[in-house]
Structure 1
């Protein structure tokens, strides 16, 4: 009997089809331990769901205590037949599809699914508007709707995410998503379902692909070993699953790509590979050559003018995305290019209140503006994005124009987007600050340095107020700031 297709299976499939296959059929001995961050996400999700139910906001028929699957399914069907207003932890099934939506709400003579999530209901956008549906949420809701349709209880092709802010975010599964996204969410679901059916039936064995999210997966060590053994194209920075698959029938490995003449695959300014432009192909070829040369060194693709100032600020922030809360602004200050002058300044929220977040933001803004001639260095657009969001949230701290002035590119430089990706190449599998600074010899003090780990530490700090945990958060952020300085100095020394 084939495994059932569940909402959680589709959630994982959207992230990585290979994970679904390994979860179903992989060797458990090859699994890594679940990371503390992932465990925290599970715990926080359960805690938030319990808080919502205990709040008195909803009066529900609670089926969570019915652990026998068949009995729960029978009771859920009975409840829907009699029009129960709100059902919690019911089980619905149609053929190989099994769903356990958090809530089923009686609407328009039928039922709509609601999932309770401890994160935001949408991605992108500013706080409570302009966000877009999350595909991994959408496919879960769509599976519930599909089952409800098949058994005759669907109120329509929509569902609701009850998010961490208590907002009900409606997911219209058939709505158009814009010219750049031709498939609506229902069509995306149908594609995901077809892939899930192929994986579950073993008709398809998906290829793994290296991505930034892989490090949180319990199959990471196993997959990386296989990808390295296969010399997989996704070992090349920014060459993801879709591009690998488009090239695979012609060029199936890093070594094969390194050996080609890119011009042979370019016709009238376009390549023969869907989604890969001529310049991108040349970039991937150059990176493949770096990865296959044991003596390769990083280099500048073109001359670049990097500003020099008496005072430099190396800047990094830490954000808990589930709480949507910025808990640390860290700055390493250096004077005269002398590392001996470095000092770390941290603006940390001693609690998770809006007042604490506002105060830390205000203090950080004041410090960054305290030396108008200083150059500010940071890594990726994230800091600017978060500061725009914080300004909108706390407009009394500063104006939107002041944020734009702070991030004026003549003074404040995104080392990743403005320098690393535009002007350099590295013999590495990615261009993260961790990878490049480690390549240059920098070492983090923590044994598990990552933004995800910092979020888990902050969660512990919120619960326990352990000074050692706070120190760990600060040390990690300081090392991130110093790593940015190490990378800047390293880039200054690169040859063309």
Structure 2
């Protein structure tokens, strides 16, 4: 995009602009908005190339998003983030393989190389098969001399911790990595080997008995939405009441323009069930409801009654991460629920497919809405299954 300034072309310059279906923003670990980091990497690369053309620094760019908004990005094309990526790419293209191995993560789900990388990782007992052990930590362990799950499972914690502190000074571990996380990773390595050797029935650890509220009614909540189009099309609930049959309730957008209407119905539902425990899995429901509140000027006191500091919402994912260990790469709802015996009826059940089904429905395939309702219902039921499973196992 042409802007005021000076460049090799005269009294004007250029900045990079990219069109994206997403908002251009994402949430950080504290729920605050920040530039989408994948988009940021692209924009920095555009700026890096553009500087060579216009012969002047490029320090800003814009994302034109699905809401027809320009989101300004502050760019650092010569910063460590981009330069590290470029260095890695150059090494890979030159045949240099050190520290260019697959890294198994939550981002692998839709990648066509997933099966190949997973096969390689399982053959090598790669460290990133353990939950929360990512690329930076993997090469941190390499720096120390730990190259596999077997080696991590048998390491002496007392000797390992000083080595990690030394590796941190070389930027191999995040400074926030603490002793408890390292201890959990060792435990997860041991559980992974235990499960791999055939003892899957006992390959988990529950460190703390759950203290879920004892009530006559509880609700299990799951959202279906398109994060790129920033559109919420379903709020689903599995409702359990004492001495009554459990049942499913859904609030569904029949067309894209009805998002506001179902958000208002959701707020009515929250008001009608004030004080009733509402279980959800991961912060997605909390964050989406906050955005809906701000987008449609919904009552904050109702939001706070559910998701505020003293609200009725209970995040099962947070409890699981803080109090349990598993031999799994992912602690997603599907990973944990399937491991504990819950199954979905559709082989292709998943969030990405739910979005595709919904747009098929909007295009006239009415049967798709029933498929989404079943999938959402089973997600809600999976949360209820986990809550009950942990209560029974901790007795």
Mapped partners of 2:375, 2:215: distance in 1: 26
Written as runs of structure 1 = structure 2, the 5 A alignment for 1:85-484 is 108-124=11-27, 131-152=33-54, 156-174=58-76, 186-204=79-97, 206-249=100-143, 250-267=145-162, 274-275=173-174, 276-293=177-194, 294-295=198-199, 296-336=202-242, 341-353=245-257, 356-395=258-297, 398-408=298-308, 411-417=312-318, 419-462=319-362, 464-484=363-383
Name structure 1 gaps, 5 residues minimum.
1-57, 59-84, 87-105, 175-183
Mapped partners of 2:221, 2:380: distance in 1: 6
- Cα gap change, 1:491 to 1:221, in 2 (>3 Å): same
What secondary structure, in the 3-state scheme, does the structure 2 residue paired with 1:109 have? strand
Report Cα offsets for 1:188-224 as digits up to 9, x if no partner: 2222222222222222451111111101100011111
Which of 445-454 and 344-353 deviates more?
445-454
Is this contact kept in 1: 2:50–2:58, CA < 8 A?
no
Report Cα offsets for 1:19-47 as digits up to 9, x if no partner: xxxxxxxxxxxxxxxxxxxxxxxxxxxxx
Mapped partners of 1:410, 1:362: distance in 2: 19
Mapped partners of 1:277, 1:285: distance in 2: 13
Is this contact kept in 2: 1:138–1:171, CA < 8 A?
yes
Mapped partners of 1:334, 1:194: distance in 2: 54
TM-score by length of 1: 0.70
Mapped partners of 1:312, 1:254: distance in 2: 40
Mapped partners of 1:357, 1:212: distance in 2: 28
Mapped partners of 1:377, 1:318: distance in 2: 16
What secondary structure, in the 3-state scheme, does the structure 2 residue paired with 1:165 have? coil
- Cα gap change, 1:333 to 1:196, in 2 (>3 Å): same
- Cα gap change, 1:235 to 1:269, in 2 (>3 Å): closer
Is this contact kept in 2: 1:313–1:368, CA < 8 A?
no
Name structure 2 gaps, 5 residues minimum.
4-8
TM-score by length of 2: 0.86
What secondary structure, in the 3-state scheme, does the structure 2 residue paired with 1:493 have? helix
Report Cα offsets for 1:121-173 as digits up to 9, x if no partner: 22238xxxx74223322332333333333234657333222121111222231
Q: How many residue pairs are counted as aligned between the two chains?
A: 373
- Cα gap change, 1:117 to 1:269, in 2 (>3 Å): closer
Mapped partners of 1:154, 1:143: distance in 2: 15
Is this contact kept in 2: 1:120–1:165, CA < 8 A?
yes
Mapped partners of 2:53, 2:163: distance in 1: 54
What secondary structure, in the 3-state scheme, does the structure 2 residue paired with 1:334 have? strand
Mapped partners of 1:368, 1:320: distance in 2: 22
- Cα gap change, 1:185 to 1:332, in 2 (>3 Å): farther
- Cα gap change, 1:117 to 1:493, in 2 (>3 Å): same
Per-residue deviation, 1:272: 5.8
- Cα gap change, 1:266 to 1:190, in 2 (>3 Å): closer
Mapped partners of 1:453, 1:436: distance in 2: 20
What's the RMSD between the two structures over aligned residues? 2.6
What secondary structure, in the 3-state scheme, does the structure 2 residue paired with 1:238 have? coil
Is this contact kept in 1: 2:224–2:233, CA < 8 A?
yes
What secondary structure, in the 3-state scheme, does the structure 1 residue paired with 2:356 have? helix
Per-residue deviation, 1:379: 0.5
Which of 453-462 and 280-289 deviates more?
453-462
Per-residue deviation, 1:465: 2.8
What secondary structure, in the 3-state scheme, does the structure 1 residue paired with 2:246 have? strand
Per-residue deviation, 1:334: 1.1
